[in-house]
Amino acid sequence: DSGVTQTPKHLITATGQRVTLRCSPRSGDLSVYWYQQSLDQGLQFLIQYYNGEERAKGNILERFSAQQFPDLHSELNLSSLELGDSALYFCASSVEVGHANYSTDTQYFGPGTRLTVL
């Protein structure tokens, strides 16, 4: 158990709908990362938040958005869902250490949320 929790574990929805995935980082971790794992794209970085602020952006679609709340939990919102959005969505967290505010720490992953869009 990494200490990172994600809910729900499974989500089945229809095209065009909107869903929210939730993540609670490990105690003491300030950074939260979101990744998408799909059969065709593999594991892809979506976005990172550090202490409530967006820090880095990857291959995140405009239909997707995220935020990190004062209690450090994070939510990933996916809207206007398409069949191709079906994937396993992971949240990871890390302690923010290192120089120039860049994290050098290990990212620990949650169990993932499996999203199925029908």
Partner 1 sequence: AQKVTQAQTEISVVEKEDVTLDCVYETRDTTYYLFWYKQPPSGELVFLIRRNSFDEQNEISGRYSWNFQKSTSSFNFTITASQVVDSAVYFCALKSFGNEKLTFGTGTRLTIIP
Contacting positions for partner 1 (CB under 8 A): 2, 31, 33, 35, 42-43, 45, 48, 55-56, 58, 88, 90, 92, 98, 100, 102-104, 106-112, 114
Could you give the angle at the alpha carbon of 27 between the alpha carbons of 34 and 104, nearest 5°?
60
Q: How far is the CB of 21 from partner 1 (least distance, A)?
A: 15
Shortest Å distance, C-beta 18 to partner 1:
24
From 11, 5, 4, select the one nearest 77 (Cα to Cα). 11
User: Considering the complex, what minimum distance in angstroms separates the CB of residue 20 from partner 1?
Assistant: 20
